[in-house]
Amino acid sequence: MSNDKKNEIIENLKKSYWMEIETVMNYLANSVHLDGIRAEEVKEKLSVEVADELGHATRLAKRLKELGAAVPGSLEFNAEQKTMQPPEDTTDMYAIVKGVVDAETGAIEQYKKIIRLCDGVDYVTQDLCIGLQADEEEHLVIFQGYLKALDKDRK
């Protein structure tokens, strides 16, 4: 694989790593922040997802190391998940579930990009990202279901 291609793959792996880390922070915050009886199921699911997303970040970090890249430290972090911020109204589940759908959709798109980049040149990274994409798609379906129910309630 050419150095340019390898560097492009590494930069995209780092982007995915940061997306996962930011998701961990926001899922953790919202799993504690939300209030109300209806929030309990979402809070519980977010708590479980924290471990899954941290596992994704760990797998990405290991792959970066295997490719000879440094795993980035916190000074390289730039927050991007505007829709995942804990809402002022701690009972606003719709805002958080919509934010989760946005985050999962973004992660899926990023993994698809890496899968295409790796095609024919880095099957190990491609395989890793296919598995991570599958996990994110599973999470997306769950939260899309929550969003449908919340949407129905809003009407």
- pLDDT beyond 80 at 153: no
Q: How many CB atoms lie within 10 A of CB 120?
A: 9
Share of the chain above pLDDT 70, in %: 99
Tens digit of pLDDT for each residue in 121-144? Answer: 999 999 999 999 999 999 999 999
Q: Across residues 107-114, what is the average pLDDT?
A: 98
- Cα–Cα distances (Å) from 104 to 49, 84, 136, in that order, read 11, 11, 6
pLDDT in tens, 63-88: 999 999 999 999 999 999 999 999 99
* pLDDT value, residue 35: 95
The mean predicted confidence, pLDDT, of the chain is 95
- Looking at residue 155, its pLDDT comes to 63
Cα–Cα dist 9/51, whole Å: 25
Instruction: Kindly list the distances between the CA atom of residue 54 and the CA atoms of 51, 80, 92, 118, in Å, as whole numbers in the listed order.
Output: 5, 17, 25, 23
